[in-house]
Amino acid sequence: MSDDLRQLFDFIGFSARLREVERHNHATPERKESVAEHSWHLALVCWVLHREFEREYGHTLDLEKMLKMCLMHDLVEIEAGDPSAWRTQHSAHRREDKARIEEEAAQRRYGALPGELGAEFLALWREHEAGVTPEARLVRGVDRLNPALMRYLTGQGWHDVGADTGALDRLQLPRLEVSQTLIALYEEVRDAAVAKGLLTPTSGPVAS
């Protein structure tokens, strides 16, 4: 086996460990979701919504880039873990620590890939993290919507994090405001969760 193929084989083996990393939301009522399951679902959702996003934005969006971001951006969590957004949203220190640890993991793992592949992985990961391009912003929006969807679909709800509709809006909407499509889907999830008793409504009008 050549050195380049050995490096690829080692990375493939490393990436398989994403199945072992648990998220904070459920996959079924009986178990937590793995990050690998989450990544697959992000890719599928972006593919399904791609034409809606293009109609909304009025121009072509690079679906291949979006799918690649969905599939690879969380590989750093094999080493860095998956901290809850409920813990990091109000702590600049925790967000900075998370960014530093993940950047180190990205350099170590993506940078070791041979040829142009390592540069592509690093560039895509950093584009996703910066959230400047339309594709990155949309992937980040779907990434934020997905755990809310799973908490609703599995009946997990938000009681474990003490969130009501106001708290959920504050977590979700800053990422979802890149797309009216995503906001509409989020509002459907939020309102259905309230109707099922999975989420407590905040006193006063619900933000839209």
The answer to whether 11 and 112 have CB atoms below 8 angstroms apart is yes
Q: What is the pLDDT of residues 139-155, one digit of tens each?
A: 999 999 999 999 999 99
Q: What is the predicted pLDDT for the residue at 112?
A: 86
What pLDDT, on the 0 to 100 scale, is given for residue 208? 41
Give the H/E segment covering residue 5: helix 3-16
As a whole number of angstroms, the distance between CA 67 and CA 85 comes to 22
Cβ–Cβ under 8 Å, residues 130 and 25: no
pLDDT of the residue at 86: 58
The tens digit of pLDDT for each residue in 5-36 reads 999 999 999 999 999 999 999 999 999 999 99
| Residues in CB range of 130: below 8 A, 6 or more apart | 136
Q: Interior CA angle at 17 toward 130 and 143, to 5°? A: 35
* 98-131 as b/e: b if 16+ CB within 10 A: beebbbebbeebbeebeeeebeebbebbebbbee
User: Could you tell me the pLDDT band of residue 87, with boundaries at 50, 70 and 90?
Assistant: low
Tell me the C-alpha distance between 43 and 108, whole Å.
24
Distance, CA of 190 to CA of 5 (rounded, Å): 47
If you search the block for the tokens 């540069």, which residue do you land on? 119
Query: What would the pLDDT profile of 93-108 be if each residue is shown by its tens digit?
Result: 666 777 788 888 888 8
